[in-house]
């Protein structure tokens, strides 16, 4: 990734659209490389491309923004369902030692690059909720920088533990801007309830690879 790709930008696009309004809280999902079969990944990217084409043709900015919000929520649901339903691909984050070092890396940059609200590490992906902090030049730490820092070191350490080489994390993340308090509550609940919904624990607090900075019942 070139240095220009790490500079803060309000919006940018790779296979998926990405937005980072100044001061916004972000909901980010990152997955292991190869965790979604190629054919399903291509189908989802095709759906995303059609959505973006439809949105770009809408003249009313307010209606376009509202429709974009709804469409991106639907897209996230499809990507996340693919991650939960897959029976193939790597599940390295299901190993306690690997999940532990990823959690440590997430905590390491709290209050330095971002204000961390919550996270949950699942066997083939992780969810994070955080607000990028402002730098000395009055711009925010960019989302690509934050994710490269978290994923770069954790990938290196994980590969050492697994005695492997190659790509550990999928390069692109799925991210969403949290619009208001009600949506924040919904996203926090969703994030923490991942292992509960999977049937691995009865309370989110019993999952060792979840975290929330607030005392919250979900």
Residues 6+ apart with CB under 8 A from 39: none
For residue 76, what are its two tokens?
Answer: 């996230």
Q: What is the domain partition of the chain in residue ranges?
A: 23-35+91-212
Closest CA to 217 of 196, 192, 182: 192
Third-level CATH fold of 23-35+91-212? Alpha-Beta Plaits (3.30.70)
For the entire predicted model, the pTM comes to 0.78
For residue 66, what are its two tokens?
Answer: 């509202």
Dihedral, 186, 191, 193, 196 alpha carbons, nearest 10: 160
212 strand-pairing partners: 118
Per-residue pLDDT at 3: 40
What separation in angstroms does the CA of 218 have from each of 100, 188, 204? Answer: 23, 8, 8
Per-residue pLDDT at 34: 83
Residue pLDDT tens, the chain, 218 long: 444 444 434 444 454 555 667 788 999 999 999 877 677 767 767 777 776 777 677 777 777 767 676 777 777 667 777 766 777 779 999 999 999 999 999 999 999 999 999 999 999 999 999 999 988 888 888 888 899 999 999 999 999 999 999 999 988 888 888 888 998 999 999 999 999 988 999 999 999 999 999 877 76
d(CA 168, CA 30): 11
Helix (H) or strand (E) holding 116: strand 114-121
Per-residue pLDDT at 20: 61
């Amino acid at each position: 990734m070139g240095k220009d790709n790490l500079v803060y930008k309000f919006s940018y696009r790779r296979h998926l659209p990405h937005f980072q309004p100044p001061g916004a809280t972000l909901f980010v999902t990152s997955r292991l490389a190869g965790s979604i079969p190629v054919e399903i990944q291509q189908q989802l990217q095709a759906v995303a491309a059609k959505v973006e084409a439809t949105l770009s043709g809408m003249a009313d900015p307010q209606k376009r923004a509202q429709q974009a919000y709804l469409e991106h929520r639907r897209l996230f649901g499809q990507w996340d369902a693919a991650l939960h339903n897959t029976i193939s691909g790597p599940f390295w984050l299901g190993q306690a030692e690997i999940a532990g070092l990823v959690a440590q890396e997430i905590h390491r940059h709290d209050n330095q690059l971002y204000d961390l609200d919550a996270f949950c590490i699942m066997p083939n992906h992780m969810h994070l909720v955080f607000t990028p902090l402002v730098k000395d030049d009055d711009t925010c730490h960019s989302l690509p920088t934050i994710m490269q820092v978290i994923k770069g070191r954790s990938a290196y350490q994980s590969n050492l533990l697994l005695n492997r080489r190659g790509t550990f994390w999928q390069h692109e993340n799925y991210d969403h801007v949290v619009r208001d308090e009600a949506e924040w509550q919904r996203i926090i609940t969703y994030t923490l309830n991942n292992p509960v919904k999977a049937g691995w624990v009865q309370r989110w607090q019993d999952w060792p690879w979840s975290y929330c900075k607030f005392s919250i019942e979900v």
